[in-house]
Structure 1
């Protein structure tokens, strides 16, 4: 049985998602930050005949993320997704997403690797924090200008508004280094929640590469996240 979830389901939902908390950081973060009753976010759950949750589907605007630990009603989820006019992206674990191929057509697929940091000491983080700053509202323009100069980010959907929102809502943070008034390296997190954070936007201006600047920023950021009990 598939039904829309409410705040009354929160404890069971988080218990279900937290077993793979890093993989589910977007679902967990969106639920913690926006809840179950907004016009841009909806969450559905599937329950088996014994009353146990077996799958979750989250809609954030036009983006959908399904999650399951075993067999689930793929067709039922696909009907929900197809009913949304502004459907844009279906993302998640490859073995789950592949099951939708018979129901949702797409000629685009982008695979990514996944890595989780749980122990900074084992990786020998460089904790030299000289010149490293944590971005505030007034730093967004110089950091975003840096990203616009990076060729590899040319197709990014990120925006100044989304970066500003992440800082203000504390769903993300950015560590950066400046030369004069210009940001020359930065690293960020997104989808931060009580359990985990995702690293994004690691970049250094072309003229300042191979000096370990991004590595120092990333080390400082990861050290702080780990100290907060997150992965």
Structure 2
């Protein structure tokens, strides 16, 4: 049986997803921020013998399923197909693959990326050394955005002063930076989608010409140490296997592949 969930179901929802906060970062964050009664967010649950075994979250036009066992793929697909607009489905690859063949619409984009999590650093950081990484201040937002846009792989990224201000206001993200001896901001690492249990690492980069000096690792050590001390699980996406090796040295392990599929609206199909 599938039905729409409400705040009375929250304990059951957290029993299903709460022990995997990294895998369910987006679902947990959206539920904490917007609950069960928002017009732009809904959540459905599949029950088996009165037990919640699978959920499907809609945030705007985006859908994320989660289950630790086989779920009612056809039932979730029918819910998704009711939306006549452009839609997106995303989640762990093994949960998204069964849905693909049931969403009969023109494809806009299909991407996959590695998804990794960290429950603890693999080595003890030098506490004195990581003090070289500093919390980004409002007066530095513009400089930080300019730094990130100078990094080739981030040239098309959605970085802005407004985004930095919003993350600080709502405590959904934080950024640490490193400056060299000349005072130049040379590296940066941030979080996004922070919630009470987990956070996603994003925007890890070094100013061109200053690579391979440990600056970005320093930012990561400071950022990860702080978040882990708060009891949060960490996660991140990466495409580059070389970057993956760096993250794994810190203590990140692969969860699997994260799949994102965007479809055209019914009118376009």
Tell whether the structures are fold-level matches, with TM greater than 0.5. yes
Provide closer, same or farther for how the CA distance between residues 146 and 72 of structure 1 changes in structure 2, counting only shifts above 3 A.
same
Provide closer, same or farther for how the CA distance between residues 146 and 65 of structure 1 changes in structure 2, counting only shifts above 3 A.
same
1:134 paired to 2:135: yes
Cα distance, 1:112 vs structure 2: 2.1
Cα distance, 1:27 vs structure 2: 0.6
Contact 1:137/1:168 (CA < 8 Å) preserved in 2? no
Question: What SS does the aligned partner of 2:231 have?
Answer: coil
Question: What SS does the aligned partner of 1:91 have?
Answer: strand
More strand by share: 2
The equivalent residue for 2:55 is 56
The equivalent residue for 1:5 is 5
Q: How well do the aligned residues superpose, as a CA RMSD in angstroms? A: 2.2
Measured in 2, the distance between the counterparts of 1:17 and 1:225 equals: 20
1:97-140 deviations in Å (ceiling 9; x for gaps)? 001111125363322223222222x3343541344221244433
The equivalent residue for 2:207 is 205
Aligned residues: 229
Map 1:185-196 → 2, pairs under 5 A: 185-196=187-198
Measured in 1, the distance between the counterparts of 2:88 and 2:140 equals: 30
Structure 1, gaps ≥5 residues long: none
Question: What SS does the aligned partner of 1:221 have?
Answer: helix
Identify which of structures 1 and 2 has the higher relative contact order when contacts are C-alpha pairs closer than 8 Å and 6+ apart.
Answer: 2
Cα distance, 1:86 vs structure 2: 4.1
1:220 paired to 2:222: yes
Cα distance, 1:182 vs structure 2: 5.9
Contact 1:187/1:199 (CA < 8 Å) preserved in 2? yes
The equivalent residue for 1:100 is 99
Structure 2, gaps ≥5 residues long: 234-269
Q: TM-score, normalised by structure 1?
A: 0.88
Question: What SS does the aligned partner of 1:207 have?
Answer: coil
Question: What SS does the aligned partner of 2:111 have?
Answer: coil
1:90 paired to 2:89: yes
Measured in 1, the distance between the counterparts of 2:160 and 2:37 equals: 25
Provide closer, same or farther for how the CA distance between residues 116 and 39 of structure 1 changes in structure 2, counting only shifts above 3 A.
same
